[in-house]
Chain A
Amino acid sequence: TAAATRPWRLFGAMCLLRLPRITQPLQKEEEEMAALMEQIELEKSHYSDHEIRKLQEEEQLRRRKESAYDDEDEAPGKMVIMAQDLEEKWEQKLLSFKAAPRITDADKNNNRTSLNRKLDSNLMLLVKQKIGNQELWLLPQVEWQPGETLRGTAERAMSTFLGDHIQAKVLGNAPYGIYKYKFPRAIRTEDNVGAKVFFFKAFLQSSDLSQAELKEDYLWVTKDELGDYLKSEYLKKVNRFLLD
């Protein structure tokens, strides 16, 4: 059966998300509550073995100082490891370990093409594409070809811009959002009124994209920074299906 020429052209776009790698900083109430919970837990708890040992040793020390150093029960030269010493040793060990910084170099340079930026929020891929005669920043999109599902179109869009060796988990077969626009009057014809762009979501699995052959200009941005690049109508539709 000959398909009736539909007035709308279909596009499949992929919103590729890099999930956060570190936890977001706690808000003021959360921090206060966490402190309170720790305090209450301490109050309701009993002494542990280590604490009892510490208390006993403190008692012993005090008694020995008061009774002016009687060495009956302890031969001089015998090393006794006190609980206090153990605690200090552990503290030293903790301080000597230096963890990786939460704010990376990419953050400081504001290098928006790097994936190591803003490790505590989602990053989205934006590509510069030519639509009509304009160069726009968009989520990577590609026109739908008959014979493939829209999810296939979105995956093709992803591989067009990032190469084949991309490991991403597409979240389901259904589109997450739609952006409908009509072509300007100059190009509009009877059976080519406008375009519908269907958005799909995917999570980036592998964190290294060294094999990716990025051909066009690309950016990894957070939800707040989307406003710097996307047009208002497009941005409105995209924001609807993005959780922050």
Chain B
Amino acid sequence: CLFFFLSSWLPQMVPSRGSHWQSSLLTLRASLPMRAQPKKKKKVDPRREQAQKDRMKKKIKKLEKAAPEMIPIEDFVTPPKYLDNSRVRSLPPLSFEETERRVLLMKRWCLFKQKQDKAEKQAIQTLIAAQQEALKELRLESEELYQAAIRRDEGLFPFEREGPNYTPPLPGYDPPEGKCVDITKVYTQ
């Protein structure tokens, strides 16, 4: 078998000389891929990387387990600029007659609302009674029509209706142009 000895320590490719260089160069330089084998990585590295990944995952789990931050309700928080004292309205105090008038008006309002509510409830009761009577008569007539009548009407709900306005719509009215910019703050948990 032949031994190749490289004459210099430079990384260049030096052609091997004869066997008379043998005395100084006893070491074999293996900088060239002498034996065709892939580079071995250090064993510690994959384990270290794995440990790092585990630590990161644990941290993520801890953060997720923590309770989500509450979204502040903007309506319940008074902005500080309105807590200033200079904004308090200065009005003359109420007279005795005024307070009396207010109290009496509140009492009349109470009575008014009570009567209104009672009348509404009475009307609903009459409505129900009339319907029950109609269904009773229908049942006496024919059972199948009765069954068809008491079946639920799927198309009825959701029932949508626009409420009445103060004035009827103006025919041919062209509302003025404008742009609405929405500045509500959106919070994400």
B141 touches A173 (CB 8 A): no
Question: Given A29-B108, A29-B112, A176-B127, A171 and B156 touching (CB < 8 A)?
Answer: yes
B165 touches A23 (CB 8 A): yes
> Is A95 positioned at the interface, with any CB of B under 8 Å from its CB?
no
For A83, list chain B residues within 8 Å (CB).
none
CB <8 Å contact, A149 and B126: no
B51 smallest CB distance to A (angstroms): 59
Find out whether the CB atom of B161 lies under 8 angstroms from the CB atom of A100.
no
Of listed A19, A20, A178, A203, residue having the most chain B CB within 10 A: A178
Chain B residues near A174 (CB-CB < 8 A): 131, 134-135, 149-150
B81–chain A nearest beta-carbon distance, Å: 9
Q: Interface residues of B, CB < 8 Å — how many?
A: 42
Fill in one digit per residue for B142-163: 1 if any A CB lies within 8 Å of its CB, else 0: 1001001111110010010100
In the complex, the answer to whether B109 meets A33 with C-beta atoms within 8 Å is yes
Q: List CB contacts (< 8 Å) of A31-49 with chain B.
A: 32-33, 36, 42-43, 45-47
Contact indicator B164/A23 (Cβ below 8 Å): yes
- Selecting from B7-15, B17-25, B65-73, B86-94, the interface stretch reads B86-94
A159 to B: closest C-beta gap in Å? 17
Known contacts A149-B145, A149-B148: A45-B89 contact under CB 8 Å: yes
Interface hub of B126, B131, B134, B171 (most chain A Cβ within 10 A): B134
Q: For the complex, give the distance between the alpha carbons of A240 and B171 in Å.
A: 37
Q: Is B33 part of the contact surface with A, judged by Cβ < 8 Å? A: no
B171 nearest CB across to chain A (Å) = 8
Contact A104 B168, CB 8 Å, known A240-B130, A241-B127: yes
B164 CB contacts on chain A under 8 angstroms: 19-23, 120
Does any Cβ of B come within 8 Å of A243's Cβ?
yes
A10 within 8 A of B: yes
Q: Name the contact of A102 in the complex, choosing from B130, B133, B153, B167 (C-beta under 8 A).
A: B167
State whether A173 and B153 are in contact (beta carbons under 8 Å apart), knowing that A46-B82, A100-B170, A241-B130 are contacts in the complex.
yes
Task: Point out the residues of chain A lying under 8 angstroms from B130, CB to CB.
Answer: 176-178, 237, 240-241
From A10, A119, A150, A180, B148 is in contact (CB under 8 Å) with: A150
Residues of B near A19 (CB, < 8 A) are 161, 164
Write the residues of chain A forming the contact surface with B, with a CB cutoff of 8 angstroms.
Answer: 6, 8, 10, 19-23, 27, 29-30, 32-33, 36, 42-43, 45-47, 52, 99-102, 104, 116, 119-120, 149-151, 169-178, 180, 196, 198-199, 203, 237, 240-241, 243
B positions within 8 Å CB-CB of A: 82, 86-89, 91, 102, 105, 108-109, 112, 123, 126-127, 129-131, 133-135, 137-138, 141-142, 145, 148-153, 156, 159, 161, 164-171
Q: A10-B145, A240-B126 are in contact. List 5 more A-B contacts (CB 8 A).
A: A21-B168, A29-B109, A47-B88, A150-B138, A196-B137
Can you list 14 contacts pairing A with B, beta carbon distance less than 8 Å? Answer: A22-B168, A30-B112, A32-B109, A43-B89, A47-B89, A169-B156, A174-B134, A174-B149, A175-B149, A177-B130, A178-B134, A180-B137, A196-B141, A241-B130
